[in-house]
Structure 1
């Protein structure tokens, strides 16, 4: 080594002091100084891309600062190794790290201000290490500076590395760290980018093309400058002939071929992913969790440089089912700018199985159908500030009531409207009187908890909340993991919105609601939402296991009691007609003026929540008189669009899951409760008969006019999705059910069918669609969804 140092010292002295006499003396001094220079250079693995996988090992996304995939030398085609040696350092296996001829030539060029060329592969490897490991702008500039001092430092490090590493190890390191242009670092990434194959599959022409790039990656870029790249490739082939790696005939045959690029565009980040919003959620989880580094900057760098294998909870089939459903009912580029978002969570683990919404992932919110906001989650996780979720909050009130020992028979006189007084917030401060009403007269009367839940009766749950205590209901929701999406507290001082807590007046995210409902499904075990199961850091040979975080929050009896109540909604309740072919429990939610609509439901082994609304502001842009996917909706309820999305998703998502039954209703809740005393005059007044009216004749009218006429007559309106054969103009009303002139209680539903303009049946009667399974008229929704 001393001999190599002396030679290097003489070389440097000769270059640096060419006009001075006594070169030998100067050389000895410089040689000593050269050997005394710092020589130890850390050779950590170069930065490489991290990959996010779904639960089956399929790639979701690649995240990196530099597109690099490390491979062993044995996984790089020998012809690629020969090509890079021929063009960059033909005496690589002969010298000791310093190619004196090439170094002398490079030093002369350096003095003249040109640092390119002449360095051995070992020296180039050193330079790349210094650049990659620079942790400051100053260090980076020093590694790239055009000075003789930089060349000397590289020489000193090269001598040491040659003593410490074998030639094959150095060549492997160089082929993994070198930049090949177009964003591709290392031979593996370059092969995949330019030819869509692995480095071990490279043939002679391809290897020569790649080897020619490292000197001037931009100028020789075959995508941008194909003729220049081809000429450079041919130079490499000639050099390979000179080194004896190939014959002249092989070189000529290779020169006669085209470049034959098969470009594979880099897929860095979440935007190119097919699951971009879940990808974004995972990235934010890593960057925001102190477990993965002291600062967010450190965590972000670790994610993008450490070559992590990030294994997640996403189920590709469930994700596809959810995405297909939201896209079918709320297309991504709908002119009304409404959005549907859905999330699926596994009870008992909290693992997120799907996260879908009807938007493309992108930074420009002004582009129709594009957003970077994940509407399934909270603001801190890249989501929105949340949306009011309507009557999907009512199960929290029921849970609080059951937790305090109230049975299903707990009953109240639940009129169409009432005023609740005497409620207090959690600070004991009285709240103002709260007027509350139901959506229709058909959802009123003396009701127990089962009937109140089936009909989603506002006045019933308002009284149940008062009986239990508003603060107790809030605390129950918080036990179940429910929180505002903007991070604010539910019990904000002097906030009168808390009065209507049971009606879902708080802004939350779909993930929060799915997690809460999953707690009911799991028998009272709450689990924090989990997206990551394992992170493998191959560079540090470390594996981080992410265990589920679960604890019991409510008793099994309370959870099973709520599940029993929510199963009843399919039996003539607000979720009737939305069954999925196996035991399920669910609840609809619609906010005032149909600002937003929700559907939350579950089986014992999967929970899902759907939100539909307008991100611009649900109150300002309600779900009224909107057209989505070619269907006109005069008003959207929880069972109108969110319900079918949930149903379609769940039918597909549970196919591979075992059919499980819910436990029976706990006996303690099925006991009868004494009837509450009626008002003093109740015995003297007979029950009031419902008002009877006649269904107006709206056949031939436009949908808007017909809806207005029927609602003015006191009826709820359901508009069929499927036009029918009729002589009426296409788009106008073809028929109503019940028929015009029928006497019907106000508050009941009238079903409206539009014409397709293709004429009626032979007898002139409009042809109604028939459900093959039931051979009954297919109605849009029956019983009608109630405004909740």
Structure 2
């Protein structure tokens, strides 16, 4: 098919002559028009109409167009596009020549010949407007100016002012058009117009319009497709081919006829499209996290951008920058690890018509980089649709998440750390029967707790235990006594040192059952806390964004903002972290994590709350940490994980090792496969025999 030639714009000399002629003729038009009553509001005397017109504002700022915020993974692979105005700016050379041909044919056939003013069209429009029949007659340059003014409007009043159909607005538009013609080439104006124009269905610019209606690119549009899209400019809602195909077809055929009349298209070519089906192949509207590959992580990143001073210290400026877009956000997400986490979750707690949920986060020790964030619930806003939610179940409430979930025995790890930090050894033992009553605990305000009766999960856990055997068996009565030995306040402060905080933003509740994980926290918090032990005591704030690039190279506002991990070395002493890692490795050796190994050194801890409201598994290698939670989105306390069918399997009770554990195992086996198989540091000698056996006699605290 023969493509239309790009029409050359007039040379400088002819352009100057045309501009002078246009200005003189316009002055004459104004002189004649201003004697009419409807023009008196301009305040211009007939004798100096031309000079008054040229004195109108002409310094229109041609700013960068509002585009998308592009979010990529750590390897620069796109995972989301977010835009208040969905647009992708493309160069004219990457737009099918049929598009400008169709636009000129139907809107401004002498575009490359005039200097922004089509005097015949202007006279016709002015006369009919004066007679009460408001008419167009705007050139492509004038339409470009109008659309640019609408784009730059900061409020609804500004939009209305730029859109009002009055002679005053028309004259200001003309004055700007003259200035734009002086500053930009015709091709630049055409490119700007096609990227700026609204083509309906949320499509701003020709590239998104091509994608929206035909699932193709602007470069690949054929004459029929180009005519369909260009025809929308007149009235996008009315001619919308998705909702009013008959009107769209009629409008397309009119554009094709005009293309033939103006010499841009052969009649034989037009005949092949005229009257034919529109050939729509629509792509659903994007431009939000809802349409992204990773909607929950996308939402987490966008919230971070809205709150982060990395973009600007001024919240209004941040909002403006995000609204204007043209931003590329490189995140910490590893798509391969994300896929591993998602498949492990979906395979065991399948998405769909279920109220049972599973959520998981992977964090890199020593950096805080979030490598994966997955859940089985799909992204949606209809509360009546079971299996969907707009809540990110992996993060804190302030970050778009929930109020959190009690973490169960994963908190025993912090008691171990506090004990080792106090200098206690692995062999520290207590008689740990099925039930004990613990008294004498004091919170951080000096308040004394009432006596606390604590039970083991099963009779087999009873007997004498030390740190190693109690950790392997997750013995409640042992940890209650260890917490008393260490101190309740000291235990809670150790948790805070590794970043533990409530998901609802409230203060940690420092009361007797702290060691059993009665605090509502998020999977991200737990994973990041365990990453602190994996990194031998270096705590890092979770990080989701590596860098933010604003604008393109060559743009006046182009800049790249790198983010830095906020880390604290020595948040936990190295020897304490090494000791904790040694203890948590034992759970895979006949303990609660038996059979959950991943083929390389790993440390981990199961967690099951009272009545199995929630079940957890948290664990790490030296270079990757993860936490998994399973529960019921309606509330685990009212809907415990007892007597439930999940993923085609019946569970009398869901423990941390029976469902979260296998999810963790499947994820980590695959996610860590490309990482070095590092070993943990040796057990510190100061803590005694790393294979200490339980004591054979009661110690002084066995009457706790």
Q: Taking structure 1 as the reference length, what is the TM-score of the superposition?
A: 0.82
How far does residue 216 in structure 1 lie from its aligned partner after superposition?
1.9
Query: Which of 16, 33, 42 is the aligned partner of 2:52?
Result: 33
The match for 1:92 among 106, 111, 124 is: 111
Deviations 1:394-447 (A, max 9, x none): 111111111122221122222222111111111122111111121222212222
Secondary structure of 1:534's aligned partner: strand
Q: What SS is found at the alignment partner of 2:291?
A: coil
Corresponding residue SS for 1:640 = coil
Inter-partner Cα distance in structure 2 for 1:658 and 1:112: 80
Alignment partner of 1:669 is 2:687? yes
Match of 2:294 among 259, 265, 275: 275
Q: Is residue 544 from structure 1 mapped to residue 561 from structure 2 by the alignment?
A: yes
CA spacing shift, 1:679–1:277, aligned 2, 3 Å: closer
Alignment of 1:90-129 (within 5 A): 90-112=109-131, 115-129=134-148
* Alignment equivalent of 2:234, drawn from 215, 222, 236: 215
Q: What is aligned with 1:781? A: none
Q: Are positions 1:557 and 2:575 aligned together?
A: yes
Name the structure 2 match of 1:513: 526
Say if 2:75 and 2:334, in contact at 8 Å, map to a contact too: yes
Listed one character per residue, the Cα deviations across residues 82-123 of structure 1 (whole Å, up to 9, x for unaligned) are 221222111111111111111122223433555553101110
**1:380-395 mapped onto 2 (5 Å cutoff):** 380-395=398-413
Aligned to 2:93: 74
| 8 Å Cα contact 1:113/1:147 also seen in 2 | no
* Contact persistence 1:385–1:486 (CA under 8 A): yes
Alignment check: 8 A CA contact 1:479 1:554 kept: yes
Match of 1:694 in 2: none
Q: Which residue of 2 aligns with 1:729?
A: none
Q: Equivalent residue of 1:292, what SS?
A: coil
After superposition, residues 200-349 of structure 1 pair within 5 angstroms as 200-255=219-274, 257-294=276-313, 296=315, 298-335=317-354, 337-349=355-367
Residue 425, structure 1, aligned to residue 443, structure 2: yes
Q: Distance in 1 between matches of 2:95 and 2:699?
A: 89
Say yes or no: does 1:355 pair with 2:368: no
User: 668-677 or 408-417, which moves further after superposition?
Assistant: 668-677
Deviation at 1:391, TM superposition (A): 0.6
Q: What is the aligned partner in structure 1 of residue 592 from structure 2?
A: 574
Aligned mates of 2:190, 2:352 — CA distance in 1: 51
Q: Report deviation, 1:241.
A: 2.9
Structure 1's 452 and 518: CA in aligned 2 closer, same or farther, altered over 3 A? same
Q: 2:516 aligns with which of 484, 492, 503?
A: 503
In structure 1, the residue matched to 2:673 is 655
Corresponding position: 1:413 with 2:431:
yes
Who is 2:16 aligned against? none
CA shift for structure 1 position 18: 4.0
CA 1:272–1:132: 2 relative to 1, 3 Å: same
> What does residue 463 of structure 2 align with?
445
Query: Is contact 1:86–1:240 with CA below 8 Å preserved after alignment?
Result: yes
Helix, strand or coil for the counterpart of 1:181? coil
Taking the aligned partners of 1:209 and 1:678, their CA distance within structure 2 comes to 87
Residue 228 of structure 1 and its aligned partner are, at CA, apart by 2.7
CA contact 2:35–2:46 (8 Å) conserved in 1: no
Question: 2: distance between equivalents of 1:664 and 1:107?
Answer: 88
The corresponding residue for 1:786 is none
Classify the secondary structure of the residue corresponding to 2:171.
Answer: helix
User: Residue 134 of structure 1 corresponds to which residue in structure 2?
Assistant: 153
Alignment of 1:659-738 (within 5 A): 659-670=677-688, 678=698
Number of aligned pairs?
673
Secondary structure in 2 matching 1:380: helix
2:340 aligned counterpart, secondary structure: helix
Secondary structure at the aligned position of 1:140 is classed as: helix
> Would the aligned equivalents of 1:604 and 1:661 in 2 still touch at CA under 8 Å?
yes
Cα displacement (A) at 1:10: 2.3
Which has the larger Rg?
1
2:249–2:275 Cα contact (<8 Å) kept: no
SS of structure 2 residue aligned to 1:84: helix
How far apart are 1:473 and its partner, in Å? 1.1
C-alpha separation in 1, matches of 2:320 and 2:672:
38
Q: Judging changes above 3 Å, is the alpha-carbon distance between structure 1 residues 597 and 227 closer, same or farther for their aligned structure 2 residues?
A: same
CA distance in 1, matches of 2:98, 2:226: 6
- 1:61/1:108 Cα in 2 relative to 1: closer, same or farther (>3 Å)? farther
Q: CA deviation at 1:247?
A: 2.9
Matched, 1:472 2:490: yes
Q: Is the 8 A contact 1:68 1:185 kept in 2?
A: yes
Matches of 1:218 and 1:671, distance apart in 2: 77
1:658-679 deviation line (CA, Å, top 9, x unaligned): 2221122111112599979847
Contact 2:363 2:372 in 1 (8 A): yes
Q: Within the alignment, does 1:535 sit opposite 2:535 as a pair?
A: no
Q: Distance in 1 between matches of 2:408 and 2:182?
A: 72
1:679 and 1:472 map into 2 onto residues whose CA distance is 22
State the secondary structure of the residue aligned to 1:344.
strand
What is the deviation of 1:219? Answer: 2.3
Q: Secondary structure at the match of 1:68?
A: coil
Q: How has the CA–CA distance of structure 1 residues 333 and 251 changed in structure 2, closer, same or farther, with 3 Å as cutoff?
A: closer
After the TM superposition, which of the residue ranges 211-220 and 140-149 deviates more from structure 2? 211-220
Following superposition, the deviation at residue 246 of structure 1 comes to: 3.0
Distance 1:679 1:551 in 2: 38
Match of 2:14 in 1: none
Aligned 8 A contact 1:417 1:459 in 2: yes
Please give the alpha-carbon distance, in whole angstroms, between the structure 1 residues aligned to 2:464 and 2:582: 21
Contact 1:79 1:207 in 2 (8 A): yes
Question: Retained in 1: the 8 A contact 2:429–2:699?
Answer: no
- Pick one of 418, 429, 451 that aligns with 1:400: 418
Closer, same or farther: CA 3–296 of 1 in aligned 2, 3 Å: same
Q: Work out whether 1:605 is the aligned partner of 2:618.
A: no
- How far 1:576 moved relative to its partner? 0.6
Q: Is the 8 A contact 1:195 1:264 kept in 2?
A: yes
Q: Is the 8 A contact 1:10 1:27 kept in 2?
A: no
Structure 2 counterpart SS, 1:193: helix
Q: Deviations along 1:242-282, whole A, 9 cap, x unmatched?
A: 33333333333343654222211122212222321111111
- Alignment correspondent of 1:718: none
Worse-matched range after superposition: 477-486 or 162-171: 162-171
> What residue number does 1:756 align with?
none
**Distance in 1 between residues matched to 2:220 and 2:28, nearest whole Å:** 45
CA shift digits 1:258-313 (9 cap, x unpaired): 42222111222122223211111111111122333455554344324322112212
Q: CA deviation at 1:344?
A: 1.1
Cα separation, partners in 2 of 1:416 and 1:19, compared to 1, 3 Å: closer
